């Protein structure tokens, strides 16, 4: 049985305030927890209904064995999995300028945890080392973001800052292009893209805010293809969907087969 103090800690980590205060977050599921532990993230609590799901390698972990009913009471998932872990937030340092020779995704007010998690997975997949977020973007350690990202934040450096200032400084001091995604930008399929620079993705409903838009040096759009003339299609793409197309197009000209 899990003690009251552990239950209280786990429950509190649904709230950003307590994640910030404690420095902990929750991850659930066999693959996700094992991947995060393998990435060197330190554990505080591990609860599981089956100790065999933990692939410890050369490390030893203190594990609490619980029944499925107790795990369900503590889980943040609709369908609890066999393992829940309270882990220590990874700490990254970032020095301005280290992103000068890479692509960087800049998220301007992304609110949906699922979208943020998807974008982090895309950054990891396409080898984009940095994701810089406005201060009102969803918290990377929100349980829903953690699950949706499948642990990508352990391999991608995520930072929160004043985004317009960061973009403007990157353009002026590092001479980096700043790409923004808009409905009326240049067709991304024919545009000249760069292997380095900033790519700004805007809020799900409002897009890129005006103060961030002022820093953009090249406007891009994903063209819409109507199946039949005169028959309307959807007005816009989900930001996660758009991000997948954008990342793919930026990487495609520079792909070198292994």
Average pLDDT over residues 130-135: 98
In a domain, 242, yes or no: yes
Q: How many domains does the chain have?
A: 2
Q: Is the pLDDT of residue 172 over 70?
A: yes
Structure tokens at 113: 């945890």
Q: Is the pLDDT of residue 57 over 70?
A: no
Q: Which of 9-23, 117-131, 138-152, 217-231 has the lowest mean pLDDT?
A: 217-231
Q: What is the pLDDT of residue 258?
A: 66
For residue range 196-245, list pLDDT tens digits in order.
999 999 998 899 999 999 999 999 999 988 766 666 666 778 999 999 99
Supply the DSSP symbol for 138. P
**Statement to judge: residues 55 and 120 lie in one domain:** no
Q: How far apart are the first and last CA of the chain?
A: 50
For residue range 12-27, list pLDDT tens digits in order.
999 999 999 999 999 9
Q: Which residues form the domain of 84?
A: 4-88
Distances (CA, A) of 154 to 39, 48, 71, 157, 200: 7, 22, 25, 8, 22
CA 176 centroid distance within chain: 22
Mean residue pLDDT of the chain comes to 92
In a domain, 96, yes or no: no
Q: What is the DSSP string of 8-34?
A: HHHHHTTSHHHHHHH-EEEEESHHHHH
**Statement to judge: residues 83 and 142 lie in one domain:** no
Q: Is the pLDDT of residue 1 over 80?
A: no
**Calpha distance 182→217 (Å, rounded):** 12
C-alpha closest to that of 188 among 104, 98, 253: 253
Last residue within a domain, chosen from 88, 121, 147 = 88
**Calpha distance 240→65 (Å, rounded):** 37
Distances (CA, A) of 244 to 217, 250, 253: 21, 10, 15
Confidence category of residue 183, pLDDT binned at 50, 70, 90: confident
Q: What is the DSSP string of 58-104?
A: T-----EE--HHHHHHH-SSSS--SEEEEEEPP-----TTTTTTSEE
Confidence category of residue 62, pLDDT binned at 50, 70, 90: confident
C-alpha closest to that of 189 among 250, 244, 243: 250
C-alpha closest to that of 104 among 171, 36, 182, 204: 171
**Statement to judge: residues 139 and 242 lie in one domain:** yes
Last residue within a domain, chosen from 88, 114, 134 = 88
**Statement to judge: residues 84 and 110 lie in one domain:** no
Q: What is the pLDDT of residue 161?
A: 97
**Statement to judge: residues 79 and 162 lie in one domain:** no
Q: Provide the whole-model pTM.
A: 0.91
Angle, vertex CA 37, rays to CA 48 and CA 140, nearest 5: 95
**Calpha distance 208→198 (Å, rounded):** 13
Structure tokens at 207: 């897009």
Q: What is the pLDDT of residue 231?
A: 66
**Statement to judge: residues 183 and 72 lie in one domain:** no
Q: Is the pLDDT of residue 146 over 90?
A: yes
**Statement to judge: residues 27 and 69 lie in one domain:** yes
For residue range 70-111, list pLDDT tens digits in order.
999 999 998 888 999 999 999 888 999 999 999 999 999 999
């Amino acid at each position: 049985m899990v003690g009251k103090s552990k239950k209280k800690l786990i429950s509190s980590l649904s709230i950003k305030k307590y994640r910030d205060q404690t420095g902990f977050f929750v991850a659930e599921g066999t693959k996700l927890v094992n991947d995060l532990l393998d990435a060197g993230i330190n554990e505080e609590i591990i609860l599981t209904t089956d100790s065999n799901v933990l692939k410890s390698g050369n490390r030893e972990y203190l594990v609490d064995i619980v029944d499925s009913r107790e795990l369900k009471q503590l889980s943040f998932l609709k369908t609890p999995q066999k393992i829940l872990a309270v882990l220590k937030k990874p700490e990254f340092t970032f020095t301005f300028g280290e992103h000068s020779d890479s692509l960087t995704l800049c998220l301007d007010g992304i609110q949906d945890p699922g979208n943020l998690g998807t974008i982090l997975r895309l950054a990891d997949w396409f080898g984009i080392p940095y994701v810089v977020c406005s201060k009102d973007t969803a918290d990377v350690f929100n349980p829903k973001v953690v699950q949706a990202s499948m642990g990508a934040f352990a391999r991608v450096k995520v930072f929160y800052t004043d985004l317009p200032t960061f973009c403007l400084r990157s353009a002026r001091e590092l001479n980096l292009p700043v790409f923004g995604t808009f409905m009326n930008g240049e067709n991304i399929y024919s545009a000249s893209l760069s292997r380095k620079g900033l790519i700004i993705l805007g809020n799900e409903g409002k897009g890129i805010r005006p103060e961030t838009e002022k820093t953009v040096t090249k406007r891009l759009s994903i063209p819409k293809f109507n199946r039949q003339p005169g028959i309307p299609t959807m007005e816009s793409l989900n930001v996660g969907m758009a991000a997948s197309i954008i990342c793919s197009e930026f990487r495609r000209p520079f792909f070198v087969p292994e």
